[in-house]
Structure 1
Amino acid sequence: MGYFTDKVVVVTGGSEGIGRALVDSLLQEGAKVATCGRNYDKLYQLQKQYSGKAFIVHATDVSNEHDCQQFIDEVVRVYGTIDILINNAGISMRALFEESELSTIRQVMDVNFWGTVYCTKFALPYIIASKGTIVGMSSIAGYRGLPGRSGYSASKFAVNGWMESLRTELLDRGVHVMWVCPGFTASNIRNVALNKDALPQAESLMNEGKMMSAEECAVHTLHAIEKRKRTLVLTSTGKQTVFMNRFFPALADKLVRKFYFKNGELVK
C-alpha cells in the first residue's frame, strides 16, 4: 500500500508528455485516475491500454469553462471525490512579441492560466473536503521571462502567483498547494508550440535528447506531492536560471539573450 493507492487523482492533459508519464506512474501506484485532453483518439487508445484499471478519460478543452466543469462533474460522478488535482495541460509559443498576433498570447493564457483556474475552481470543494492536493505544472518561464515566449512566460508567472495566493488562502484548511517548475524537459509541448499566427509549428528547435525525460519529471513530481513540498524546481539549468535571475538579473538578461539568439535572430 503506497501513498497514492486508492487516491482519486485528476491529471489534465494526460494523453502525452509529462501528463502521460504521470498517468502511467499513478496507475502503477494503484491510484484511481481521471485525465482529459483535446484529442479523443489518443485518449481512447490510452483507455484501451488501461482497460483493467480504475481509469476514466474525457475529451476536454481546458480553455473552455463548461468543458472543465463537465470533466470534473464526471470524475465526481464516477469516483465520488477528488484527492489530488494536477493541472498539467498546457501549450507553448515561439515568436517575437512584435511579430505575434494577439490571438497567440490569448490562446496560451486561456489554456495555461484559465485552464488551471477553471479545473481548480470546480474541484476545490472536494479537495477541501478530502484535505487533498492541488498542483500547478508551471515552468522556469514562470520565474524568468524568456524571449520568444512572452505569452508563455506571462501565463506561467500568472500560475505561480495565483497558486501562491491560493496556498495562503487555504493554509489552515489542510489543503496542500504546490507548483512544479520543470527546466527543459523532453515533451511534446515544444513540437506544438504556437507561432506568431497562433498555429502549431510542428517541430522543436531544441535538442530533446539532452533533456530530462517526462518519466523522470513525473517521478520527481509525485515524490514532491507525497512530501507535500511547497515548490519543485527541476534540472540543474532550471535551478541555476532561478538563482541567477534572483541575485544577478542583469547578467541573467545577457545570458538568456545569448542562449536564444544568434546574429540577432531567435534560433531556439
Structure 2
Amino acid sequence: MEKICLITGVSRGLGKALANKFKKEGFIIIGVSRSKVDFDIDFHIQADITKKEDIERIIKEFEKNFDKLDVLINNAGIGLYESWKKTNEEDLRKLFELNFFAPVLLTQRFLKYLKKTKGTIINVSSVAGKMHIPYMGAYCSSKFALNAFSYSLRAELQPYDINVLNLIVGRIKTDFSSNALGSIKITPNTPVLGSSPEKFAEATYKAYKKRKREIVYPYWYKFLIYFSNLFPSIYDKLALKKWQTVIEE
C-alpha cells in the first residue's frame, strides 16, 4: 500500500525538494501552498495555513480524498530581519502565525490519521531555534517555540509510536532572505552560501527512514551552535560584527 505525505509550503524551495524526494521514493504527495505548483504532485490544495478557514478547508479536502496519513511535514515558514527596537507587532504576529501556530494547529488536526499508521511528523525548524542571532531575534523566538513544540510533542506521542523528527536547518540556497519580513534587507552582493535543497531533502529522507529525533543540516552548524552556547559573550561580539557588515544600514 502506498504511503501518503502531506507537505506545507510545497510550491518552492525546501518544500518542493522534499516533495520531489518523497515522491521519488513512492509516496503519494499532498501539497499545500498559497501559490500554484509548477511541478508534478498527486494532489494540491491552494490555501493560506495562517487562516483558520483555510485550515478547515484543508482538512475537508483531505478527508474527501484520503483516510490515512503517513508523514506530515510542517515546512512552510518565513523569516524576519529586524532589530527588536524596530520590530512591529504586525510582522511579529504574522511570523508566529506561520512559523508556530499553523504547524501546531495542523498537527492537532492530523493526529488521528497519523495514529492509524504510526506515522511521522517532520517539523522544519532552524539553527536559529538553537542559538540567538542579532537582527533575527523574532525569527529565533518563533523557531525556539517550534523546537519546544517538537520535543514535548514527541514525548506525548510515544505511546502511539508516532515519531517526531525535528530539522535544525542552516543556510540553504533558497529565496528565504528575499522573502523575509522586516525593513532590513540583505545586501545584493552578499554571497549566497549553503547546501542545496535537494541535498537537504536527501538528508531528511534518510533521517525519516531511521526514525531519528533530530538532525542538524548542514552538519557543521553543530559546532557553531556549540560555540555560541559555550562562549556566549565572544559569540555576541563576533555575530554582531558579522551582521553589521551584511545588512543595509
TM-score range, shorter chain: over 0.9
Deviation digits for residues 92-122 of structure 1 (CA, Å, limit 9, x no counterpart) = 0112121222111111111000111111011
* 1:10 partner SS: strand
Deviation digits for residues 31-83 of structure 1 (CA, Å, limit 9, x no counterpart) = 011011111xx32x33xx35xxxx10011111112312321332232122111
Aligned to 2:102: 115
Change (3 A) 1:258 1:237: farther
User: Is residue 2:6 matched to residue 1:7?
Assistant: no
Q: Is the contact between residue 36 and residue 57 of structure 1 (CA under 8 Å) also seen in structure 2?
A: yes
Aligned to 1:130: 117
Percent identical pairs in the alignment equals 29
- Aligned-residue offset at 1:245: 2.4
User: Is residue 2:44 matched to residue 1:66?
Assistant: no
Aligned to 1:83: 70
**1:75-224 correspondence runs (5 A):** 75-196=62-183, 206-208=190-192, 210-224=193-207
* 1:261 partner SS: helix
Deviation digits for residues 185-228 of structure 1 (CA, Å, limit 9, x no counterpart) = 1112211001249xxx69867422x3101111111011101111
Q: For the residues of structure 1 that align with 2:77 and 2:114, how far apart are their CA atoms?
A: 22
Change (3 A) 1:58 1:203: farther
The ranges of structure 1 where at least 4 consecutive aligned residues each deviate by more than 3 angstroms after the TM superposition are: 201-206, 265-268
Q: For the residues of structure 2 that align with 1:63 and 1:221, how far apart are their CA atoms?
A: 25
Aligned to 1:24: 20
Report how many aligned residue pairs link the two structures: 249
User: Is residue 2:224 matched to residue 1:241?
Assistant: yes
Change (3 A) 1:203 1:103: farther
* TM-score normalized by the length of structure 1: 0.86
One-letter amino acid of the structure 1 residue matched with residue 203 of structure 2: H
One-letter amino acid of the structure 1 residue matched with residue 241 of structure 2: K
* TM-score normalized by the length of structure 2: 0.93
Q: For the residues of structure 2 that align with 1:145 and 1:136, how far apart are their CA atoms?
A: 19
Q: For the residues of structure 2 that align with 1:21 and 1:31, how far apart are their CA atoms?
A: 14
Structure 1 unmatched ranges of 5 or more: none
User: Is residue 2:30 matched to residue 1:34?
Assistant: yes
Q: Is the contact between residue 191 and residue 204 of structure 1 (CA under 8 Å) also seen in structure 2?
A: no
Could you say what the CA RMSD is over the residues aligned between the two structures, in angstroms? 2.1
* 2:178 partner SS: coil
Structure 2 unmatched ranges of 5 or more: none
Q: For the residues of structure 1 that align with 2:56 and 2:131, how far apart are their CA atoms?
A: 32
Change (3 A) 1:57 1:102: same
Which of 242-251 and 112-121 deviates more?
Answer: 242-251
Change (3 A) 1:28 1:236: closer
Q: For the residues of structure 1 that align with 2:109 and 2:189, how far apart are their CA atoms?
A: 37
* 2:179 partner SS: coil
Change (3 A) 1:254 1:180: same
* 2:177 partner SS: coil
Aligned to 1:260: 243
One-letter amino acid of the structure 1 residue matched with residue 45 of structure 2: H
Q: Is the contact between residue 244 and residue 251 of structure 1 (CA under 8 Å) also seen in structure 2?
A: no
Q: Is the contact between residue 183 and residue 237 of structure 1 (CA under 8 Å) also seen in structure 2?
A: no
